Amino acid sequence: MSRGHVDSGNNAGMGPRILLAYHSEEGQTAKIGERIASVLAREGAAVDTVTTDTGPSPADYDGVIVGDSIHLGRHSRSLRRWLMHHAGALEQTPTALFQVSLTSAHDDPEHADEAHRLLQGLLEETGLDPDIVGLFAGAIAYTRYGWVKRHMMRRIAAEQGDPTDTSTDYEFTDWDAVEQFATDALAIIAGGSREPS
């Protein structure tokens, strides 16, 4: 799904208007984005869901939620370009960010530090200053990888102690955490515009 609109029926128009923009490689970030959109809509928000390849300016929205997955140790070029292109509008708009990575599938300090390092690199490069951040575990989508990537990911998974059966996919996302992030982001966005920094 590259662009869509989700509202909450009878409550449409009463809640904030939110732009949810993401970049997804194999689909897990999109799946997380869709779950966030459904929570927002259930709570009365009007949500426009787009990809960062085609997403509009966030200037006309009450709030923005952006998401991306980590591949080859960094965020996507698509997300980074979108954030930098709309930096001015994002500075004036309540903003939430979610990062999806296999690093966050492990709760030890070393992996937690790495997830935060990846996040900090994005923030330093783009100048984004989100009001709230979600760090979510992604998935290993062996069946959707090409031959080279499948074997590379299998090797990485073996080193990390993750599953290595390439005939199936593995999902590590904590959906309760995703829904809590959506609820918390909505509360911030509904609270109003940012104060000038």
Asked if residues 1 and 30 have their Cβ atoms less than 8 Å apart, the reply is yes
In the chain, at which residue ranges do the beta strands (DSSP E only) sit?
A: 3-6, 17-22, 46-51, 63-69, 95-101, 132-137, 139-140, 170-171
> Domains along the chain?
3-138+175-190 (3.40.50.360), 140-172 (no CATH)
Q: pLDDT 10s digit of each residue in the chain, 197 long?
A: 334 544 433 344 478 999 999 999 888 999 999 999 999 999 999 999 999 998 899 999 999 999 998 877 788 999 999 999 999 999 999 999 999 987 887 887 887 888 899 999 999 999 999 999 999 988 888 888 889 888 888 888 888 888 888 888 888 899 999 999 999 999 999 987 555 44
State pTM to two decimals. 0.84
